[in-house]
Each structure stands twice: as structure tokens, then as C-alpha cells.
Copies of this chain bind each other. A is one copy, B any other.
Amino acid sequence: MTDKIAFIGLGNMGGPMAVNLHKAGFAVTATDLSPAARAKVADEGVAVVATAAEALTGATVVISMLPASRHVEGLYLGDGLGATGSNPGLLATLPAGIRIIDCSTIAPASARKVAAAAEARGLSMIDAPVSGGTAGAAAGTLTFMVGGADACVEAARPFLQAMGRNIFHAGASGAGQVAKVCNNMLLAIHMIGSAEALNLGVNNGLDATVLSEIMKQSSGDNWSLQKYNPMPGVMDAVPASRGYSGGFGSDLMLKDLGLAEEAALASGSAIPLGGLARNLYAAHSAGGSGGLDFSSIIQLLRKREA
């Protein structure tokens, strides 16, 4: 028997992910609330339908890629009004044996809540948020950080491999979300830290490229310096060298830092640098730069040219 995938959510990330599953030979029926989003993947040969219910007909796997916790809870749990509600949620209707893979980046607590509800109905669900951005989604080189039972993660591996390159099993349900939140918080911290160090060096007479090389070969080394230098002119082909367009938007980083805060609040954890990073991105966004790549945070620190 061949697997049949219902893919729900065809945005900037979900669209190319559905296309890569299709190209890998899987039977995919995709859907999104937006007709334009559906049309885009239909152009690549993917079968599209207008509703989740249609997509689910005969499906053995559901993959969802939605913007935030409330969309994922709404899709699977419904509107929370119970038996009297107008939307009972997918979990109430999914057939036994179907596998659920949620690739959205959402709060760990939300992921655990939905997974527990799925398990209560005998369904298998994993959280599998991604990193790698729209470029990684298009190239099929995403990294998946996965939470769920061993068997469920192994069963999902063929689908994930069609969309990405690295698949990390972080732990039980919600662990994929926790790993992503921790990783992205750390990324934000060393991106801002790298921006501070480069700006401090330049303000004290150093050349940004020379200083970057020194720190990359010393104990200041980090991914932001290696792959994504925030100072214009140091690296080609990064957002800093094209006016901070493209890349990973500041507002998306702000969202992920908000999830880190929620996880810190839920567990009583102290994250002084992570919390400050969120507030700096919030100020950056309030200043109108939320649509720029997240390395543009250096502009909050630097003297603006007239």
C-alpha cells in the first residue's frame, strides 16, 4: 500500500515542502485557505483541493505547516467550545492509523497539548519544526527537530527526508519545539553579540573584515560570523550585503524569541540575554524594521548615516 499525504498550509515554507514531497514520488493532496497559495503549488504539479476535509480523503499521513499555536490548536482541537462548537477539530474525525506530522513552529506547551489529545484518541503525532528558511525549504535541505515516540519518528523519517537533510530526534512530544526555541534563542543572542562586537571594533578603528576573521579563528567564533555576517560589505551573498532583504525576517525571530519567553515562563527559567534579545527585536520591529532580515538588528546599534 502506498502512503497518501494530506498537506495543510502552503505558505512560503509549506508550499515548497509540499512540492518536494510530490517530486519525491509521494501522492500529495495539498490545501490552504488562500487560492493564490494553492495555485502556486498546483503549477508545480501538486494536486490541490479547497478544504482540509477533501485533502484528508483516503490520507494515511497528515502534514501541517501553520503560522502559530492558535492555528495548530484550531486545526486539530477545534474552537474549544466542545460538543456545542461549530468546529470540532480534525482529531475528532481522523481515521485510526493515520500519522500526524506538525511542522509548524509553535509553543512547546501547545505542541504537547495537541499531541496528548491525539494520543487520547489513539492517534500518532510528532512535532517537527524546521530551520533553514525559505531557501532550505525550496532546496529540500531543511533541518528537522523532532519530538515524539521513537516509532512515530522512525515512521515519519521517509517523509521528512524528502523535505530536508538533517533530522534530529530531540525527545518526547514537544521536544522538537523546545530544541528549535533554544537554538533560535541562541542564534539571536550571538547574532546581536556579533553585531555589538563588530560595531565596537569598527568604532575603535578596526576593519570589520579583519576583525571578523580574527574572531572566527578564536573563541568568539559562532554561526552568525561564519555564515551570516551582519556588517555590510564583509560577506557576499548575505542579507547585510543587499540591504537586509530576503533571509529570515526580524519579525519571525521576534516570534521565536516570544516562544522562548513562554517556555521560560512555563518552567521558571532565567534567560537574561534571551529576554533582552526579544526586547531589542521588539524595539527594532516597533521602529519599522520588522520586515528586514534579522541581521539588520545591527542598525539598532550603529550610528545612522545622514
Residues of A participating in the B interface, judged by any CB pair closer than 8 Å: 80-85, 108, 131, 143, 145, 166, 168, 170-172, 174-175, 178-179, 181-187, 189-190, 192-194, 196-201, 203-207, 210-211, 213-215, 217-224, 226-228, 254, 258, 260-280, 282-283, 285-288, 300-304
Contact = CB atoms under 8 A, between A and B. Distances in A.
Nearest to A203: B267
Contact of A178 (B183, B204, B269): B204
Number of copies: 4
Contacts of A303: 286
A246 to B, nearest CB: 16
Instruction: Describe A's contact surface by its main secondary structure.
Output: helix
Nearest to A214: B168
Contacts of A210: 168, 170-171
A186 B145 contact: no
A189 B187 contact: no
Given A186-B197, A221-B222, A214 B268 contact: no
From A131, A280, A288, name the one whose CB has the most chain B CB atoms within 10 angstroms.
A280
A270 B193 CA distance: 11
Contacts of A217: 143, 166, 168
A280 B189 CA distance: 15
A49 B181 CA distance: 46
20 contacts: A82-B85, A166-B218, A174-B204, A179-B206, A182-B197, A182-B206, A183-B220, A185-B200, A186-B215, A190-B193, A192-B273, A196-B273, A221-B226, A222-B223, A261-B261, A269-B282, A270-B300, A272-B280, A275-B276, A286-B303
